[in-house]
Amino acid sequence: MKLVSENLRDEFGEIRLEVIFQDRTVRLSCIRRSQDNQVLSFHIVSFTEDGIKTLGSAHERIVAGEMLGEVIQMSEVPYTRTVSEKSSVEMDSGLASLFGTEKGRCTTERIEYHVRGIPYATIYEFYNPKYTLVVKQ
């Protein structure tokens, strides 16, 4: 299964990660389309302390601003990635403003990473409804 970043590159061309907030166990970020700086997705990431220890130095690369899935793939650490079914959620004014849209709903999914069998990260992805079809509920 392709990573979110790979799917976005395939569909929109060059992208970049923008870290909005980052500490050791939480990251808020978005992926922007390089050509016009449009926000394609927004992410809330929660890391576990045991997972951070298990992933080791690769976690420091993630905290430094690299894309989580890509770093884990290259790390040579055994991992699993589970992706929930997509669903539709009501957007608050902050998310709608970040996406630059008046639309009320967006598509979301949850991605969970385990490294060496230990929970590492849970990612909540929200996709800009201007560029991603909103899943019906």
Two structure tokens written together for 12: 């929109």
The answer to whether 115 and 55 have CB atoms below 8 angstroms apart is yes
Determine, yes or no, domain membership for 34. Answer: yes
Structurally, how many domains does the chain consist of? 1
Determine, yes or no, domain membership for 132. Answer: no
Determine, yes or no, domain membership for 134. Answer: no
Determine, yes or no, domain membership for 111. Answer: yes
Mean pLDDT of 28-42: 95
Determine, yes or no, domain membership for 136. Answer: no
CATH number at residue 25: 3.40.1410.10
Can you give the residue range of the structural domain that contains 22?
4-127
Q: Of the candidates 112, 111, 91, 110, which has an alpha carbon nearest to the alpha carbon of residue 102? A: 91
The pLDDT value given to residue 137: 58
Q: Of the candidates 63, 64, 17, which has an alpha carbon nearest to the alpha carbon of residue 43? A: 17
Going by pLDDT thresholds of 50, 70 and 90, the confidence category of residue 4 is confident
